[in-house]
Structure 1
Amino acid sequence: MLQNNPGLKSKIDQLWNKFWSGGISNPLTAIEQITYLLFMKRLDEQDLKRQSDAEFTGEKYNSKFEGSWIPPEYRARWDDKDSADEWAKKLLDEKRFAIDKHTLRWSEFKRLQAQNMLQHVQGKVFPFLKDLNGAESNFTHHMKNAVFVISKPALLVEAVKTIDEIFEIMETDSRENGQAFQDIQGDVYEMLLSEIATAGKNGQFRTPRHIIKLMAELVQPQLGHKIADPACGSGGFLLGAYQYIVTQLALSNMKKGTGTKELSPDEDGFLRTSVAAALTEKAQAILQESLWGYDIDSTMVRLGLMNLMMHGLDEPHIDYKDTLSKSYNEEAEYDIVMANPPFTGSIDKSDINENLQLATTKTELLFVENIYRLLKKGGTACVIVPQGVLFGSGSAFKILRQLLVVRCDLKAVITLPSGVFKPYAGVSTAMLLFTKVWGPQDKVTQPATEHVWFYEMATDGYSMDDKRSKQEGYGDLQDIVAKYHARNPATDTDRTAKYFTVPRTSIETEGYDLSFSRYTKDVFEEVHYDEPSMILDRLIQAEIGELEEMEMAKVQGGIVRQLLELKGIVG
């Protein structure tokens, strides 16, 4: 986590302060502008690395910075009405406004003087960035309305310098700790959100990376799975699934003797890598089509696209959509859904998708029902919800829990400590892990769930205050992974432990209550007391002893007084 790298945290603090003092004080505007710069830097580094790898392996690689780029407004368009002279003029204009792509590299423009750098980035580099994947691409579509708002040359120069320093720290971490390129953009986003007291009013809480990694270990996405996050924000869950799959492929290659580097556990005990260069072209193509994300915030969509592109996905499938609205009709599409949907309270009843059957406007309930609908039969979801979903007494709460138990195989309910989402919020949350068995229109012949595995996480390896400092060990993270995959209804029966299984029949009896406290049993230490007569005897003896001491004190006091009188000290 960002908090545990003081050098990186300090640099991001500096970057934020420079944008604030430079007149860009809106956190989301600041992070969007910073992300553009991070993306420019990462794009240059990735391209140079791919060029180097291609030279080493002898494979062909077409650099994004080779040749010339013509801004869309100057590209020649053939028109049947154009004369030969008009067409020749168009071609001449096209040639005149062509820009050498090499000059658009971060490593090139960062050498320019302040004013020239600003003009170059504003007028050439940023338009090139927006047009990066071609006019028809999803990325270009969502970047259409993006604006580069840095207007002060000094701010741009300082930002470029600080980002270079941030990357140097990341590279040092990679060399010294054996970690792959971290989610820099996510770290910046996390840091900026922590700067504002109003963060989270719109539900934009970034899920900590170690929680995402835990959820990926539980659902175990595989190459070829179609994976979605219907409220993806900056793309953290999609990136988490991507890294899990890449890591499993890398481990498989190592077992075959084709791997290049042994992986070591990260600070949370997980094996992870983002390096997909060793994957076959077929595997990369499958991965490209595996990840799908949606969000209702256009800024988040752009951040999510760039986040995944910075990690090696050339054309991510992240789109602007309200997945609870009438305009979104996907159903039974995905093998895996991982999500931490926003808990914003209520939404406009008139715009709720009519396929959602719950009679409620509470988003935490609607999102879970929608995720159930998005899953294919046999598909699995891991979703973070407020703990109130587990025991809420309203009819919509009960109907949703019944749906999860009857139409799904509800595999696990894992409660999280309230400090997991600090410094943004102290809300108590839980993970729901379920597999879809019966569709919405299917006639249920047998409830899908037989047993539910409960686990109460006490710690996630970080302090539960706003600082969220790394503690020694992994907390309960690795224990949850191990115990979940080894769960056994026949042996996990101790209701006084922090994990156990509960049969469906017991859950039905309790009105489908899914709270851990409903099924746990408190441990009372048996205390043995003496017979009342013995206790009374001890009290009497104690009282007699006190009386004897008092009498002795009186006698001693009388003797002392007599002695003092004999000496004439007292009258």
Structure 2
Amino acid sequence: MDRRELRSQVDKIWEAFWTGGISNPLTVIEQFTYLLFIRRLDEIQLLEEKKTQFSEGPVTNPVYTEDQKALRWGSFKNMDPEAMFELFTRPQGDLPTVFDHMKELNGRAGIAAKFMKGATFMIPTPRLLDMVAQMIDKIKMDDQDTKGDLYEYLLSKIATAGTNGQFRTPRHIIKMMVEMMEPKRDDTICDPASGSSGFLVGCGEYIKKEHNDWFMEPEFNAHFKGAMFTGIEFDSTMIRIGAMNLMLHGIDTPTLIGKDALSEGNGDLREAYSLILANPPFKGSLDYDSVEPSLLKTAKTKKTELLFVSLMLRLLKTGGRCAVIVPDGVLFGSSKAHKQLRKTLLEDQKLEAVISMPSGVFKPYAGVSTAVLVFTKTNSGGTDHVWFYDMKADGFSLDDKRNKIPDTDIPDILTRFKNLKAEASRERTDQSFLVPFDEIKENDWDLSINRYKEIVYEEVAYASPGEIMAEIEALDKERGEALEMLKGMLR
């Protein structure tokens, strides 16, 4: 399907929700997600039924029994609005509602089903349900790319920040970070603040694009569908949205953990992953009692942005790599915890890169300045130099509109990061350069690029006061002559 046509259909559905009384963007996406999933359940059942046509046997582990035929998308979509709404809101004898049936599947139809238990049906009228169902039914979702594009566009329409500083990471920033880290075939990939699972999806898409031949190997296929992807997210709404995002991108059985990643309840998860990509919450502050104690050993702090970096060090295997977005304050904060965390990354691990991003990257959600930290867990040091890059453009305007523009530093970032040896010849006046470990240590572990960047000031020659006065007098004389000429014309 043409991308513009797909987006137009999504826009119409979005508008239908808004005019129908559902104006919260997250609620719209939730309800849209549930209906997409219910349609997907019928597609799964149809696929299983086709498999049994030749064997003439029953469908094993069916999504719908024969008695539940009325609950299937292909059945109720043709009903009148009142009857359809009744199926969604009131049990029919022993038959559950369409919505209750979806919530009771508990993992029998992919990862999304596992997290549907707490879902709430909020479409208020039969007319709105029928209108949205008919429009969703018209979307051609025959291939995986279309499904993925549909959901990515839907997620891009979130225009309000979430709670605790959470907001969606722009897709092109995710893509940049994934391409920097180059996921390997045996990687176990984790996002400990997974939200809508954008980083996990980004890794999956990178592998399909760059290493499609890996899928010819049964061992890799099993790994891709099983242990390769893990997301941790405490928000039940976001974990459902993330599960659906993964499923529509062909990642059917990832591990999704519905816990607060920083809590004691998650303390048993250690040295489990070889690659972490994340954009954790920036504005949170927790009580010491609610934080898993080992995280406080790295940096005793209540700030979530510091605690999450500590968590990543705990979650990574030795030799594991990480790319994480942090607010600028992490780079130069003067508290004991800030300095201790930076010292740990530089002295005990291998800090490779600090990419400073302009403050408009996360608009319209927030105007905070951020940076990407790239490091490897070694537990034995290894930082010789740190590569700094001053990103000035990301391909979009840096205002609330975020319109696409031709200027972008991302291709240059990727090229230079993959050839850091060549950066040794760069000057401190350039957009990127290397800074030795000892110099950063002398600067109290400061990782702000402005601490090391040199600015060349151009000398500007100004006219002398006498010359300026002469120019003013000449202008006054010309003005006087012009005024006298005008008076003469009016006589």
Count of equivalent residues: 464
1:500 aligns with 2:439: no
Letter in 1 for 2:401: K
1:397 corresponds to: 338
SS in 1 for 2:242: helix
- TM-score, normalisation: structure 1: 0.72
Letter in 1 for 2:394: D
Question: Where in structure 2 are there 5+ consecutive unaligned residues?
Answer: 90-95, 481-491
1:299 corresponds to: 237
Letter in 2 for 1:378: G
2:274 is aligned, of 332, 335, 350, to 335
Cα 1:183–1:403 shift into 2, 3 Å: farther
SS in 1 for 2:232: strand
Cα 1:304–1:63 shift into 2, 3 Å: farther
Cα 1:110–1:284 shift into 2, 3 Å: farther
2:79 corresponds to: 112
Q: Is the 8 A contact 1:326 1:351 kept in 2?
A: yes
Q: Is the 8 A contact 2:6 2:150 kept in 1?
A: no
1:89 corresponds to: none
1:417 corresponds to: 358
Cα 1:420–1:50 shift into 2, 3 Å: farther
1:283 corresponds to: 220
2:28 is aligned, of 27, 30, 34, to 30
For residues 159 and 149 of structure 1, the distance between their equivalents in structure 2, rounded to whole angstroms, comes to 13
SS in 1 for 2:310: helix
1:69 is aligned, of 64, 69, 77, to 64
Letter in 1 for 2:154: V
For residues 145 and 110 of structure 2, the distance between their equivalents in structure 1, rounded to whole angstroms, comes to 32
Cα 1:479–1:59 shift into 2, 3 Å: farther
> How much does 1:189 deviate?
3.2
Letter in 1 for 2:202: G
> How much does 1:201 deviate?
4.0
What are the within-5 Å matches in structure 2 for residues 251-400 of structure 1? 252=213, 279-288=216-225, 289-329=227-267, 330-356=269-295, 357=297, 358-400=299-341
Q: Is the 8 A contact 2:107 2:114 kept in 1?
A: no
Letter in 1 for 2:73: W
> How much does 1:26 deviate?
4.0
1:185 aligns with 2:151: yes
1:485 aligns with 2:418: yes
For residues 493 and 238 of structure 1, the distance between their equivalents in structure 2, rounded to whole angstroms, comes to 34
1:159 is aligned, of 107, 119, 132, to 132
For residues 493 and 141 of structure 1, the distance between their equivalents in structure 2, rounded to whole angstroms, comes to 52
Cα 1:506–1:376 shift into 2, 3 Å: same
Structure number, greater radius of gyration: 1
1:211 corresponds to: 173
CA offsets per residue over residues 220-277 of structure 1, 9 Å max, x none?
A: 1122211111111111111111111222222x47xxxxxxxxxxxxxxxxxxxxxxxx
2:485 corresponds to: none
For residues 419 and 309 of structure 1, the distance between their equivalents in structure 2, rounded to whole angstroms, comes to 31
2:92 corresponds to: none
For residues 31 and 232 of structure 2, the distance between their equivalents in structure 1, rounded to whole angstroms, comes to 21
Cα 1:7–1:466 shift into 2, 3 Å: farther
1:233 aligns with 2:195: yes
Q: Is the 8 A contact 1:456 1:498 kept in 2?
A: yes
Q: Is the 8 A contact 1:325 1:353 kept in 2?
A: yes
Q: Is the 8 A contact 1:143 1:302 kept in 2?
A: yes
1:202 corresponds to: 164
Q: Is the 8 A contact 1:133 1:315 kept in 2?
A: no
Question: Where in structure 1 are there 5+ consecutive unaligned residues?
Answer: 71-96, 254-277, 439-443, 554-571
Letter in 1 for 2:188: K
Q: Is the 8 A contact 2:165 2:284 kept in 1?
A: no
Q: Is the 8 A contact 1:451 1:489 kept in 2?
A: no
1:459 corresponds to: 393
2:403 corresponds to: 469
1:520 corresponds to: 453
Cα 1:186–1:179 shift into 2, 3 Å: closer
1:428 corresponds to: 369
RMSD: 3.7
SS in 2 for 1:306: helix
SS in 1 for 2:403: coil
SS in 2 for 1:419: helix
Letter in 1 for 2:209: T
Letter in 2 for 1:366: L
Q: Is the 8 A contact 1:224 1:287 kept in 2?
A: no
CA offsets per residue over residues 436-461 of structure 1, 9 Å max, x none?
A: 010xxxxx5xx320011111111111
Letter in 1 for 2:219: K
Letter in 2 for 1:499: S
> How much does 1:471 deviate?
1.6
SS in 2 for 1:212: helix
Letter in 2 for 1:301: I
SS in 1 for 2:115: helix
CA offsets per residue over residues 319-359 of structure 1, 9 Å max, x none?
A: 21111111111111110000000112311221111101212
CA offsets per residue over residues 479-517 of structure 1, 9 Å max, x none?
A: 111111011166343111111111111111111111111
> How much does 1:294 deviate?
0.9
Cα 1:212–1:137 shift into 2, 3 Å: closer
SS in 2 for 1:433: strand
> How much does 1:113 deviate?
1.9
SS in 2 for 1:16: helix
CA offsets per residue over residues 338-389 of structure 1, 9 Å max, x none?
A: 0000112311221111101212101111111111111111000000010111
